[in-house]
Amino acid sequence: MNRLLIGVFLLVLSSSWCFAEKINYEDSKDIEVVTIDFGSTDLLMITEKMVSSLLTEQELLANKPVIKLGYIKNKTSEYIDTNNILSSISTHLTKSKKVRIAASNEDNQQIVEELAHQNQNGLYKKNTAPKIGGMLGAKYLLDGELTSIVKKNSSEKDVYYKFTLKLRDLEQNIIEWQEEKDIRKTAKR
């Protein structure tokens, strides 16, 4: 009986191995068109457009301003991780060395806890512990929204995405820069 169970187990295991998916690595920048839904190509196109547009604003970026990352509102009918879009934009802006990105509100809590830990427990030399009150305030807030319009009939589906990003002066509440990226996708049955 035990041999029979072992034999069945080995047969199932070997047959599942035969039907395993073939996995290939692809260039992450290649266009993907698996579905009409928001995908990696859309994220890359949005990031490229927003970063290249903002980095041309030499007057705004003259003194390496501190930018606080706000939120990207998802006003589409599908789940889209808008934090992922903002993270990609932040990464490219940081790598440009033309701006400084302030920690997010979520990250601030961790930083405050670490500052308190290093300054209050007596384990660290006072001249090496980071000083409380030395954080830089952000001059600008970077936020935006992603919207979509979906149209479909029995044979065709059309999805139009519009991504808008704004850079606002926090003190004056003025939009200093704004950019949009449109993406349109169609699928036929």
36: CATH: 3.40.50
**Cα gap 42→46, rounded to integer Å:** 6
> pLDDT per residue over 44-56, tens digit each?
999 999 999 999 9
Share of the chain above pLDDT 90, in %: 58
Q: Which amino acid is at 178?
A: Q
Taking only Cα atoms into account, the Rg of the chain, rounded to an integer number of angstroms, comes to: 24
pLDDT digits (tens, 9 = 90+) for 154-168: 999 999 999 999 999
**Residue 166 within any structural domain of the chain:** yes
36 falls within a domain? yes
45 vs 185: CA distance, rounded Å:
13
61 within some domain: yes
CB 55 within 8 A of CB 48: no
Which range of residues forms the domain containing residue 155?
32-105+141-188
In a domain, 15, yes or no: no
Residue 60 lies in a domain: yes
**pLDDT per position as a tens digit, 32-91:** 666 788 888 899 999 999 999 999 999 999 999 999 999 999 999 999 999 999 999 999
What pLDDT does residue 10 have?
Answer: 60
Q: CA-to-CA distance for 164 and 175, rounded, in angstroms?
A: 12
**Residue 121 CB partners (closer than 8 Å, separation 6+):** none
Residue 69, domain member (yes or no) = yes
CB 136 within 8 A of CB 67: no
- Assess if residue 21 is contained within a domain: no
The reported pTM is 0.79
Number of folded domains in the chain? Answer: 1
Query: Please, what is the Cα angle at 27 between 72 and 41, to 5 degrees?
Result: 30
Under a CB-based contact definition with an 8 Å cutoff, are residues 76 and 161 in contact?
A: yes
Spell out the residues 6+ positions from residue 147 whose beta carbon is closer than 8 angstroms to its own.
75, 76, 161, 162, 164
Residue 83 within a domain: yes
Mean pLDDT of 95-103: 94
